[in-house]
A and B are shown apart, each in its own frame.
Chain A
Amino acid sequence: MSEQAPRRKPRLRDERITLGHGAGGKATHTLVEALFLEELGNPLLDPLGDSALIDAGGTKLAFTTDAHVVQPLFFPGGDIGSLAVNGTVNDIAVSGARPLVLSAAFVLEEGLPVSDLRRIVASMAEAAREAGVVVAAGDTKVVERGRGDGLTVTTAAIGLVDERVSLGAEKVRPGDKVIVSGTLGDHGMAVMIARGNLELEVEIESDSASIFPLCEALFALGADLRWLRDPTRGGLATTLNELTEASGLCVVLDEKALPVREQVAAACEILGIDPLYVANEGKLIAIVAADRADEALASLRTHPLGAGACIAGVVEAEPESLVLLQTAFGGSRVVDMLVGDPLPRIC
């Protein structure tokens, strides 16, 4: 097989940006690798991790940034303010670091009610308190009506890397277990339903939350903790495809073990959407050594956010670079990366 062959560099053949480029699937990856890395590439950016790991005079820091656009601005279980804090804090946490400080830049659209802005900023403040970070820097711009989508928030964060852990796709070994911290697809379905154009009468709450406490609970595993991610845009399927692509290994998921809320499963069934591809904003995927998996599960379950943690699959050596699913029906199938944008944009 092609173990030694260098990975093909994707080529961006599109002439214009489409919504597919923002969906987190293959088109996004092509855009990032063939345009942004091509122009901006450097040893800190090239690994395309959730955060860049920086050596600052002997101290290891994690640094990341995230732009947040979501419609509607308020949805059950959260709003763009809490999302902007949690999303960025989580990127720091899954890099094996404790979040320290945040910055926030707001682009406001002319006509936005101040009361809405106050609610959003208050919600940011509460999320920051819960995550144990402060907003240490900020910026505000206003754009003309019709050019701003209400409001967008861009946050950046710095975290302090925990010395006990060293994470990466290259640390993952065949036999390792794949742990999921709770139910899948809650955030994406909550936002889709809150838009109100699907005419589904079911309320689903977003899972937006800081997952640093869950990550911290696993740092004690040291080198037996191999890899962490928060499966946001593109869902569990896309996140695991990033792992198998980077490591050349195979992940085999067990459909029966995958936790999906009844309402989310039903809404997905009606809409023809696979919950494996739906975004999460407060969930953790952890890959741990097989003989520490029970211990990891027990630590996660002591925290309310990890009460539903379970082992969802296992890493295998072959087939190379593929995510597979053992179906509840007794067969198997490939779980590919999301292609294009079958879902409305959600984060």
Chain B
Amino acid sequence: MKYVDEFRSGELARALASELEQAMPLGRELAIMEVCGGHTHAIYKHGIDELLPRGLELVHGPGCPVCVIPVGRVDDAVSLALEPNVIFTTFGDMMRVPGSKGSLLDARSRGADVRMVYSPLDALELARANPERELIFFAIGFETTAPSTAVTLLQARDEAISNFSVFCNHVTIGPPLRAILDAPELRLDGLIAPGHVSAVIGSRPYEFIASEYGRPVVVAGFEPLDILQSVLMLVRQLAAGRAEVENQYTRVVRENGNPRALEAIEQTMELRDSFEWRGLGSIPRSGLRLRDEFAGWDAERRYKVPGLSVPDHKACQCGQVLRGLVKPWECKVFGTACTPERPIGTCMVSAEGACAAYYNYGRNRPTRRDKIQA
């Protein structure tokens, strides 16, 4: 396949892997976090981890939009979905995430009208087509998906569509990274920054990681050669004692990002004082809410939601997985009580979740196999 095979060449991969081997600083163990769940998925799907040199470990980060939504927000979504006359729309993965009283799919089997959409614009279209019903869109995701929600809101306002509202759970990537770097229990040497988020925000917002924390960052694409090359760029920085923000994904990411997308977010949304993250707790100024001008389209202001903070299932270690403290296969319920068919935590639900990636693709790795029932 043109424009894809070029980034998956086994020959180039072997060449890069041997360069990486030679670039490794002698006698040092390196821990590099791939922030984004899309990268985690690609790493296991293509077996990139098997090409890494000894002493280099990849640590999975919090960049999985479904994974970071806490139980309380899922409960709020279920309560909105059960409101009379509501059509509740969401991305597919989110339907299976268990809340304290079941998932959105369970709500559907109890009679709620929950539908999967591919884009918030599809939800707006449903609002136009069903003027007698109330449409709510469950908005989740980092700066990657926030612009499409923003554009949808602007369109709803311009067309004065009043039976449409957004349950906004958009988050920003910077604050959780700072929280992880501040945590004393994890020592990271460098970060692979997410490509799609960076297409919107640019590479500049990661500067603090280099300047304040002295850690190198490389913004990476999602093809396997992108990821391997990014690891090499990080290792070279570390070997040379540099800590800079570099951009490997130049075919998509600009230093200043996408100004029009940022403008749309800015017009419609503002930072909340604080937002609760699964596993990371409440982080100041890390989540987005709708601006007052859009109060009429804000589901949290139009409906009563419980708004409670609800602890994770007792056995679930998603929080530690999201912070890179526990490997998926080290979780007590991984592959036994928690599987993709019957997930307990979000990391096993989402295709981008680290647990789902290990479970689906990585079970042949010797360290992990003994944990799983055949």
Contact = CB atoms under 8 A, between A and B. Distances in A.
Contact of A330 (B1, B13, B369): B13
Contacts of A272: 351
Most buried by A among B14, B105, B224: B224
Given A331-B48, A339-B341, A265 B374 contact: no
B95 to A, nearest CB: 11
Interface in A292-345: 319-322, 324, 327-334, 336, 339-340
Contacts, number: 77
Nearest to B14: A330
Contacts of A172: none
Interface string A57-83: 000000000000000000000000000
Contact of B8 (A18, A266, A322, A329): A329
B363 A328 contact: no
A2 interface: yes
Given A320-B374, A330-B13, A265 B1 contact: yes
A318 B279 CA distance: 37
A262 interface: yes
B8 A16 contact: no
Nearest to A197: B118
Given A16-B109, A340-B340, A330 B361 contact: no
B189 interface: no
Interface residues of A, number: 30
A27 interface: yes
Contact of B224 (A26, A329, A332, A339): A329
Chief secondary structure at chain B's binding surface:
helix
A340 B356 CA distance: 13
A331 B4 contact: no
A163 interface: no
A15 B224 CA distance: 41
Most buried by A among B13, B44, B47, B351: B47
B360 interface: yes
Contact of A331 (B1, B50, B351): B50
Interface in A263-280: 265-266, 269, 272
B44 A330 contact: no
Contacts of A324: 364
Interface in B97-124: 105, 109
A45 B133 CA distance: 49
Nearest to B50: A331
B341 A329 contact: no
B1 A266 contact: yes
B17 interface: yes
Contacts of B1: 262, 265-266, 269
Nearest to A248: B374
A333 B341 contact: no
Contacts of A333: 44-47, 361-362, 364
A293 to B, nearest CB: 24
Nearest to A250: B364
B97 to A, nearest CB: 14
Contacts of B369: 319
Contact of B361 (A16, A334, A340): A334
A330 to B, nearest CB: 5
Interface string B39-82: 00000111111110000000000000000000000000000000
Interface string B194-226: 000000000000000000000000000000110
Most buried by B among A15, A272, A320, A332: A332
Contacts of B47: 327, 329-333
Contact of B340 (A266, A329, A330, A339): A339
A34 to B, nearest CB: 13
A336 B356 CA distance: 11
B10 interface: yes
Most buried by B among A319, A328, A336, A340: A328
A26 B341 contact: yes
Nearest to A326: B47
A13 B360 CA distance: 22
A15 to B, nearest CB: 8
Contacts of B224: 329
A329 B361 contact: no
A331 B49 contact: yes
B17 A330 contact: yes
A319 B364 contact: yes
Interface of B: 1, 4, 8-10, 13-14, 17, 44-51, 105, 109, 224-225, 340-342, 351, 359-364, 369, 373-374
13 contacts: A13-B342, A266-B1, A269-B1, A320-B374, A321-B374, A324-B364, A327-B45, A329-B51, A330-B50, A331-B47, A332-B47, A334-B364, A336-B360
Interface of A: 2, 8, 13, 15-16, 18, 26-27, 256, 262, 265-266, 269, 272, 319-322, 324, 327-334, 336, 339-340
Top-5 shortest CB links A-B = A331-B47, A333-B361, A331-B50, A329-B46, A339-B340
